[in-house]
Amino acid sequence: MTPSARTYGAWGDTWLAEQVVDWLETGGWTATDVASPLQSVALVEAAIESSERDEGVDPRVPLAEARESVEP
């Protein structure tokens, strides 16, 4: 289900609620995808951790942890 922008606006509350209900009923995915930006989040998280520890941090570790937390 993809509504037009004229029907609900770009991110109308009604459309978002319908997306959630559709997702719950069908087990499908909503229009937003949590897994896509994980590499960016993992890189930022690794940079913060590296700064706190004052040593290099492999961003693949937080990326693997993040993927585990969102994969169905």
15-32 pLDDT, tens digit each:
777 877 888 888 776 666
Ordered by start, the domain boundaries in the chain are 1-32, 34-72
For residues 65 and 63, what is the distance between their CA atoms, to the nearest angstrom? 5
At 47 the pLDDT is 92
Average pLDDT over residues 21-45: 76
At 9 the pLDDT is 60
